[in-house]
Amino acid sequence: MFCTLRAHLLTGLLLFGVAGVSAVWITPALGQDEAAAVVPEAAENAVAEVVAAEEAEEAEVVAFNAADSNYTINTLIMFICAVLVLFMQAGFAMVEVGLNSAKNTVNILAKNVMDLSVGVILFLFVGFALMYPGDNWLFDGVLGEPSSFVALDDPAAPGDYSSSADFLFQVAFAATAATIVSGAVAGRMKFGAYLVYSALLTGLIYPISGSWKWGGGFLDQMGFQDFAGSVVVHAVGGFAGLAGAIVLGPRLGRFTSDGKSVPLPGHNIAFAALGVFILWIGWYGFNPGSQLTYAGAANASATTYIALTTTLAASAGAIAALLAAWALFSKPDLTMALNGVLGGLVAITANCDRVAQWESLVIGAAGGALVVLGILMLDKLKIDDPVGAWPVHGLCGVWGGIATGIFGDLPDGIETVGGFIVVQSIATVVICAWAFFTMLGVFLALKAVGVLRVSAEEEQAGLDISEHGMHAYPSDGVSGGAIA
Amino acid sequence: MFCTLRAHLLTGLLLFGVAGVSAVWITPALGQDEAAAVVPEAAENAVAEVVAAEEAEEAEVVAFNAADSNYTINTLIMFICAVLVLFMQAGFAMVEVGLNSAKNTVNILAKNVMDLSVGVILFLFVGFALMYPGDNWLFDGVLGEPSSFVALDDPAAPGDYSSSADFLFQVAFAATAATIVSGAVAGRMKFGAYLVYSALLTGLIYPISGSWKWGGGFLDQMGFQDFAGSVVVHAVGGFAGLAGAIVLGPRLGRFTSDGKSVPLPGHNIAFAALGVFILWIGWYGFNPGSQLTYAGAANASATTYIALTTTLAASAGAIAALLAAWALFSKPDLTMALNGVLGGLVAITANCDRVAQWESLVIGAAGGALVVLGILMLDKLKIDDPVGAWPVHGLCGVWGGIATGIFGDLPDGIETVGGFIVVQSIATVVICAWAFFTMLGVFLALKAVGVLRVSAEEEQAGLDISEHGMHAYPSDGVSGGAIA
Amino acid sequence: MFCTLRAHLLTGLLLFGVAGVSAVWITPALGQDEAAAVVPEAAENAVAEVVAAEEAEEAEVVAFNAADSNYTINTLIMFICAVLVLFMQAGFAMVEVGLNSAKNTVNILAKNVMDLSVGVILFLFVGFALMYPGDNWLFDGVLGEPSSFVALDDPAAPGDYSSSADFLFQVAFAATAATIVSGAVAGRMKFGAYLVYSALLTGLIYPISGSWKWGGGFLDQMGFQDFAGSVVVHAVGGFAGLAGAIVLGPRLGRFTSDGKSVPLPGHNIAFAALGVFILWIGWYGFNPGSQLTYAGAANASATTYIALTTTLAASAGAIAALLAAWALFSKPDLTMALNGVLGGLVAITANCDRVAQWESLVIGAAGGALVVLGILMLDKLKIDDPVGAWPVHGLCGVWGGIATGIFGDLPDGIETVGGFIVVQSIATVVICAWAFFTMLGVFLALKAVGVLRVSAEEEQAGLDISEHGMHAYPSDGVSGGAIA
């Protein structure tokens, strides 16, 4: 027990060390006065503003020109989309809880709450600047210069949207990448190890490869297209999760000694379905909201067209996965349909802006079928990914990247479909390899120092009691609390 | 088992046949080039756009005039409202799961996920054009001309909102109509039969009667008013569900051989309450969002007034149902209060734009009381509607339609309150009869070919295991997964 | 049983008496014609509008000037924020259900549904006008003049946002204050007593102290700052809950006869975590939406900066509470982390508009630590607050109020940080004392007439069966409904 605690504390310290050191390094002289200066003037004194607005109502009317209107609408819609993406955290939590054993519920929820919380802090101190370096690269197009806190826009010259909205939207994406991994490693990882790799993923690994595309790095310069992150977000999470699942090994009892696969069913399919509905809804922030990061004006037509292709792909994914599972297993399998929805959504994420309606149906349906195939593949390879994180986010992420080349309108500077497919494939491989091998290193390192996996006894008892000292559903979870 | 599979496959084929045939019929020569042409120019090359925007910033400022601003705001708010309405799918799923037996949970969730997914595809290929034929009627005012895919607006001349946003908003309504039925037929219908009727409802029956009002058909020309669908959406779902409940007959054990009613309680009231909260929230997309389909400009004052009357009716419905149940059964019944919220919401849906605040309280309270009355009526008639779909959506939908005549401001061309009530009553009867009798035919046909109801053994075992081969809460659902 | 019923009916009557009497008093001659007059012209005839809009398209373009655009955007974004805040009701319900015994689930849900519904009606009839009296005070700056229904804005001269949106946003806040109390008194209060105090809180106590700040009353004139209600909303709820917990006394078995604390664990941590995620999301309506009530124009930069500080405080709160619990109890306690999120959010609510990013981290982290401390304090004092409502909302609300003085930019008219801290402290104490002592009176009165607490037998059996005659999870709640 003491050892466990010590390991936990060590990893906790390590985690906050990363944040702390980087903060000190980057902002050596951050005093209250300086910090106060980054509060936007506009927010400083709301009361004064109201008075001023009343006094200068006429001036206001004149001042609210088209540029201001664009800025206001862009910013507020991006904010709402960020809220939708953040809501996906609840969706991931419910899916993972539902598809795992009840004895690991507290652990999964703790991971989900903390990877968001730790991720926000790490992205604030390191990740955001690494991912969007602007002109500040340490190695041009490959590694940005870190810097802490959100540099707020000058209210005198607002850009197309506020930097606060941008940070919220981007940190929600980073948290998504981190939380995807959680599902793949459920049921056997120490909580402290989870906090460490989650911090590294959100603070370093995800933003570095992200900068290669969305920060204007070398993949972007090659012509690589990934509209909202089939590869940049989902495949990174999926392949990081695959690395974790491989290094950890399967849960006890998942494969028999003679190699037979023994499915370990989840404990609450209603939670899983609720989670998928929430994720579907959240994706309307993920994909349509990304339009705002590209276009100067809130392009409402494009934004909603993206919502349309997203919807069609999700639906086609569900139908394809259900039919594939029905054909293969002679029953309409709900978990496959649910993962099919997600597979369709992941696949359309890279190309939702540049494919026709019927193409979005094909891309989504293929995503749904790939999920079923991917789950069977992992089973054959004896890799235990409890919620299907790699099939959904890794495999369908890769498919989304390549499908962009096959179906998507050609970007400027690329002349042929063949050329586009090559560019998309190379970039997809580069990003997946980056996520897989860096995270493989992280997991191997954690394993080497003995803080990765819980003991067999702890696993058998469940992580809820062994790692957190509590049950998710005490006193049989149904007939009541302690005095029932 | 093989027979079941064959029936499933047959019904599945039938389902996709409908979609496929209609697609081929309607768009005989849809090649990639044509399809690509429907990708909005604006979405085609986001990168190019950004560059262009920078180059032409001044022009942009000039271009973003009031008409553009209207279009942008209308479209984006309609999109957000569509997301809220789509979220209602999660709400319906949770309500139905919670109010039914645990052994039918997987089945209910599979139905809810698939009726949305299948509904989206069917509405894309057939329903949307049928419901909004514009000038293209096969039989004037009665049956529109089908046509596939969303005809995207020309960015050079945008209307008041984008057609993509319109499709999303409307498909969410269609999915609502379909999913309402799910609750009424829970616990005893074959999954394949569900897919078939759900496809027919979303693809044909709902959009045809919908076109009579919202497509500008004969009921609209009569002066019938149904702002957001008390009748067009909810009563259609409710009466379709009633047809299903009658043809199927009650669940085993619901009524004793000597005719006594035996309530079969739901298995998780927390899910049911969560679902009602989600539905309440989703209704803020349903009713206020509908304002955008009427007015040329985003009329923010009217949109939020509608949200106000909607809120008042929901609250009054909850209070009235609670008090009614308290008086009748001597206890404050939570399920009645929950259904009272929904009854109030359904009742205000037709008239939320044209009644005073106190009238919305009366309409909502009557809706709440009617729910209690309707549940008692069905009990007397020995019709088994497990979640109260007909009392909530059917009966309160009718009440909403008639209440519009009683309380609502007169529309142009109708001179007296009496005349308005007559118009509302006739149209409400026409639509309810259409939904009831067409769906009665569908259910009777499915019954005749023997694919409607599961066997007594399958029902006893639960649809989760007999139709889907899995449990919602395996290994006792609480103390853990397979190895616990 | 009969007595219980009578008590229930009495309290119910009392409740509606309050609403009814006030309605009659205030609007003695409200006839249909008058009420109809308050329907906004703009909503009256949507069809006519469309026609008119088409006819007058050119005029429209001219009419949609900057002032209209501000009004439209402000109103619609405030509406969306109100929806997010209303969604918090689902979050509170899930948190309270999850952290309590299963045998009190129906009761908690009934309380949450009804306090929203009753709260809406009471706020409509009394509270809204009391809280925002404008120039109509009975006692200047202390007690506003009550008045019923929302006075709709004249469409010819719209203000900065519609009064309907304002009502929705404010009633959601009022419902929040009421529902916070629910958690503190869970498991032992009669349902009728709950309805009575909830009505009094939403209709009178909350709006009166609210008017002192947000209605422009004496605390506002002193310079007191509470941006979105750390004190005005959360501390009011928290201290009202503390009064309830003290008067009720602890649940049976919560403390042994020799004074030892016996934790009564909740029955479903997954519900609790889902609830916290929903609350986190809802807070993006609570805090950023409040910006719209201050500034004349939709200040998108400030709105999203507030969302940023809110996010940072939530994250810091989770981390601080987890680390504090880990250090104290040698385990990473999930319920502490969850309450830490809420503590961080409550603490930043008063000052999210006027602190730097690093300050929001400090304020949130302190909030998270205070939650742990507060829970230990209550335990020492033998006060039973089942969900930690006072530590989260009361203690962190006070901290939020004082932190505004310590860290926040000085408002006009206050010259020194010391002076600001004094003003904040005085106002915080005044509001907390008001909420605590008025509600103490209410609870003592209910206790005196014997309708406050259920009997020991009823408590032992659970409030679900004793107060509502039903179980939340019947037939063991898992393996099925009645016939399983």
| pLDDT tens-digit readout, B238-275 | 999 999 999 999 999 999 999 899 999 999 999 999 99
- When CB atoms are compared, the residue of B281, B409, B478 closest to C478 is B478
CB of B332 within 8 A of CB of C467? yes
Q: Mean of the pLDDT values across residues A209-215?
A: 97
State the pLDDT at residue C21: 41
Highest mean pLDDT among B335-349, B469-483, C281-295 belongs to: B335-349
* Distance of residue B84 Cα from the nearest chain C Cα, in angstroms: 10
State the pLDDT at residue C23: 41
Total domains in chain A come to: 1
For B422-440, what is each residue's pLDDT tens digit?
999 999 999 999 999 999 9
In this prediction, residue B1 has a pLDDT band, given cuts at 50, 70 and 90, of: very low
Which residues have a Cβ under 8 Å from the Cβ of A176 and sit 6 or more positions away? A85, A88, A89, A92, A233, A234, A237, A286
Q: Map residue A99 onto helix, strand or coil.
A: coil
Q: Evaluate if residue C464 carries a pLDDT over 80.
A: yes
Q: Evaluate if residue B5 carries a pLDDT over 50.
A: no
Residues of C in contact with B267 (CB under 8 A): 473-475, 477-478, 480-481
Which structure tokens are listed for A156?
Answer: 């005198």
- When CB atoms are compared, the residue of A251, A281, A303 closest to B79 is A303
Strand pairing category for C143-144 and A143-144: unpaired
In this prediction, residue C198 has a pLDDT band, given cuts at 50, 70 and 90, of: very high
For C83-135, what is each residue's pLDDT tens digit?
999 999 999 999 999 999 999 999 999 999 999 999 999 999 999 999 999 99
In this prediction, residue A48 has a pLDDT band, given cuts at 50, 70 and 90, of: very low
Task: Please state, rounded to an integer, the average pLDDT across all residues of chain C.
Answer: 86
> To the nearest 5 percent, what fractions of chain C are helix, strand and coil?
70, 0, 25
Inter-chain contact A60–C69, Cβ cutoff 8 Å? Answer: no
Domain membership of residue A159 (yes or no) is no
Inter-chain contact A46–C312, Cβ cutoff 8 Å? Answer: no
Which residues have a Cβ under 8 Å from the Cβ of B51 and sit 6 or more positions away? none
- When CB atoms are compared, the residue of B5, B54, B109 closest to A330 is B5
State the pLDDT at residue A411: 94
Which structure tokens are listed for B319?
Answer: 């209070």
Taking CA atoms, C201 is separated from B148, C126, C237, in Å, by 55, 11, 9
CA-based nearest residue to A192, from A106, A100, A107: A107
* Distance of residue C460 Cα from the nearest chain A Cα, in angstroms: 7
In this prediction, residue A13 has a pLDDT band, given cuts at 50, 70 and 90, of: very low
Inter-chain contact B318–C40, Cβ cutoff 8 Å? Answer: no
For A299-309, what is each residue's pLDDT tens digit?
899 999 999 99
Inter-chain contact A322–B63, Cβ cutoff 8 Å? Answer: no
* More confidently predicted of A250 and A21: A250
State the pLDDT at residue A481: 31
Q: Evaluate if residue B24 carries a pLDDT over 50.
A: no
Task: Please state, rounded to an integer, the average pLDDT across all residues of chain B.
Answer: 86
**Distance from C-alpha of B145 to C-alpha of B154, rounded to nearest angstrom:** 21
State the pLDDT at residue A403: 98
State the pLDDT at residue A3: 43
CA-based nearest residue to A283, from A357, A344, A338, A206: A344
The residues that bridge with A139 in the sheet, in sequence order, are A143
Element at B324 (helix H, strand E): helix B300-329
By CB atoms closer than 10 A (0-12, 13-18, 19+), residue A418 is: exposed
Which residues have a Cβ under 8 Å from the Cβ of C52 and sit 6 or more positions away? B296
Q: Evaluate if residue C439 carries a pLDDT over 80.
A: yes
Taking residue A21's Cβ as centre, other Cβ atoms within 10 Å add up to: 12
Residue with tokens 């819980």: A454
CA A227, chain centre distance (Å): 14
State the pLDDT at residue A241: 98
In this prediction, residue A239 has a pLDDT band, given cuts at 50, 70 and 90, of: very high
DSSP calls for A355-386: S-HHHHHHHHHHHHHHHHHHHHHHHHTT---T
State the pLDDT at residue A153: 74
Inter-chain contact A480–C462, Cβ cutoff 8 Å? Answer: yes
Inter-chain contact B281–C467, Cβ cutoff 8 Å? Answer: no
Domain membership of residue B32 (yes or no) is no
Q: Mean of the pLDDT values across residues C245-250?
A: 98
Inter-chain contact A155–C301, Cβ cutoff 8 Å? Answer: yes
Domain membership of residue B399 (yes or no) is yes
Write the Ramachandran bin of B67: left for phi over 0, alpha for psi from -120 to 50, otherwise beta. Answer: alpha
Residue with tokens 């595809």: B121
Inter-chain contact A281–B120, Cβ cutoff 8 Å? Answer: no
State the pLDDT at residue B174: 96
**Distance from C-alpha of A8 to C-alpha of A1, rounded to nearest angstrom:** 10
State the pLDDT at residue B85: 98
In sequence order, what E strands does A179-276 have?
A: none
- When CB atoms are compared, the residue of C8, C191, C484 closest to B101 is C484
Which residues have a Cβ under 8 Å from the Cβ of C140 and sit 6 or more positions away? none
State the pLDDT at residue A259: 86
Which residues have a Cβ under 8 Å from the Cβ of C329 and sit 6 or more positions away? A469
Domain membership of residue A18 (yes or no) is no
Which structure tokens are listed for A84?
Answer: 């939708």
Q: Mean of the pLDDT values across residues A356-383?
A: 97
CB of B432 within 8 A of CB of B394? yes
Inter-chain contact A269–B71, Cβ cutoff 8 Å? Answer: no
Q: Map residue B140 onto helix, strand or coil.
A: coil
Phi, psi of A142 (to 5 degrees): -125, -45
CA A416, chain centre distance (Å): 32
- When CB atoms are compared, the residue of A338, A356, A411 closest to B39 is A356
**Distance from C-alpha of A426 to C-alpha of A434, rounded to nearest angstrom:** 12
CA-based nearest residue to B458, from B263, B189, B266, B255: B189
CB of A280 within 8 A of CB of B86? yes
Q: Evaluate if residue A42 carries a pLDDT over 80.
A: no
Taking CA atoms, A113 is separated from A179, A183, A290, A398, C318, in Å, by 9, 14, 24, 28, 8
**Distance from C-alpha of B71 to C-alpha of B62, rounded to nearest angstrom:** 16
* More confidently predicted of A39 and B362: B362
Domain membership of residue C54 (yes or no) is no
Subunits with 3+ Cβ pairs within 8 Å of C are: A, B
Highest mean pLDDT among A50-54, B29-33, C270-274, C471-475 belongs to: C270-274
* Distance of residue B282 Cα from the nearest chain C Cα, in angstroms: 9
Q: Mean of the pLDDT values across residues A383-393?
A: 97
Residues of B in contact with C47 (CB under 8 A): 294, 411-412
Pick the residue of B225, B278, B326, B358 with the most C CBs within 10 A to test the interface with C by mutation. B358
* Distance of residue B120 Cα from the nearest chain C Cα, in angstroms: 25
State the pLDDT at residue B58: 34
**Distance from C-alpha of B445 to C-alpha of B441, rounded to nearest angstrom:** 6
Of all residues in chain A, the one with the smallest CA distance to B91 is: A274
Of all residues in chain A, the one with the smallest CA distance to B466 is: A331
Q: Mean of the pLDDT values across residues C19-26?
A: 41
Q: Map residue C357 onto helix, strand or coil.
A: helix
Subunits with 3+ Cβ pairs within 8 Å of B are: A, C
State the pLDDT at residue C70: 84
**Distance from C-alpha of B7 to C-alpha of B225, rounded to nearest angstrom:** 42
Inter-chain contact C299–A42, Cβ cutoff 8 Å? Answer: yes
* More confidently predicted of B64 and B306: B306
Which residue range forms the structural domain that includes residue B359? 2-23+66-468
- When CB atoms are compared, the residue of C52, C110, C167 closest to B332 is C110
Q: Evaluate if residue C31 carries a pLDDT over 50.
A: no
Phi, psi of C226 (to 5 degrees): -145, 90
Residues of B in contact with C35 (CB under 8 A): 356-359
**Distance from C-alpha of A280 to C-alpha of A262, rounded to nearest angstrom:** 30
State the pLDDT at residue B295: 66
Q: Mean of the pLDDT values across residues B129-141?
A: 94
State the pLDDT at residue A341: 98
**Distance from C-alpha of B458 to C-alpha of B446, rounded to nearest angstrom:** 18
State the pLDDT at residue C451: 96
Q: Mean of the pLDDT values across residues A113-142?
A: 95
Domain membership of residue A386 (yes or no) is yes
Domain membership of residue B448 (yes or no) is yes
By CB atoms closer than 10 A (0-12, 13-18, 19+), residue C257 is: exposed
**Distance from C-alpha of A483 to C-alpha of A475, rounded to nearest angstrom:** 9
* More confidently predicted of C483 and A320: A320
Which structure tokens are listed for C471?
Answer: 């179980």
ipTM of the assembly? 0.89
* Distance of residue B299 Cα from the nearest chain C Cα, in angstroms: 7
CB of B200 within 8 A of CB of B153? no
Alpha helices in B163-268 (DSSP H): 163-184, 191-200, 206-213, 218-222, 236-248
Domain containing A215 — which CATH number?
1.10.3430.10
Q: Evaluate if residue B34 carries a pLDDT over 70.
A: no
Burial A206-244 (b: 16+ CB within 10 A, else e): bbbbbbbbbbbbbbbebbbbbbbbbbbbbbbbbbbbbbb
In this prediction, residue A69 has a pLDDT band, given cuts at 50, 70 and 90, of: confident
Which structure tokens are listed for B15?
Answer: 């389902």
Percent pLDDT > 90 in chain C is 77
* Distance of residue B120 Cα from the nearest chain A Cα, in angstroms: 7
Q: Evaluate if residue A122 carries a pLDDT over 60.
A: yes
Phi, psi of A18 (to 5 degrees): -55, -50
By CB atoms closer than 10 A (0-12, 13-18, 19+), residue B403 is: buried
For A392-422, what is each residue's pLDDT tens digit?
999 999 999 999 999 999 999 999 999 999 9
In this prediction, residue C299 has a pLDDT band, given cuts at 50, 70 and 90, of: confident
In this prediction, residue A158 has a pLDDT band, given cuts at 50, 70 and 90, of: low
**Distance from C-alpha of C22 to C-alpha of C202, rounded to nearest angstrom:** 14
CB of A104 within 8 A of CB of A463? yes
Cα C341-C347-C351 angle, rounded to 5 deg:
130
From A185-189, A334-338, A368-372, B294-298, the region with the lowest mean pLDDT: B294-298
Strand pairing category for C137-139 and C143-144: antiparallel
Of all residues in chain A, the one with the smallest CA distance to C308 is: A164
In this prediction, residue A51 has a pLDDT band, given cuts at 50, 70 and 90, of: very low
Domain membership of residue B58 (yes or no) is no
CA-based nearest residue to B199, from B114, B289, B297, B107: B114
CA-based nearest residue to C121, from B277, B282, B357: B357
Chain pair B-C, CB pairs under 8 angstroms: 280
The residues that bridge with C189 in the sheet, in sequence order, are C453
Q: Evaluate if residue A280 carries a pLDDT over 90.
A: yes
Inter-chain contact B36–A409, Cβ cutoff 8 Å? Answer: yes
In this prediction, residue B158 has a pLDDT band, given cuts at 50, 70 and 90, of: low
From B478-482, C174-178, C363-367, the region with the lowest mean pLDDT: B478-482
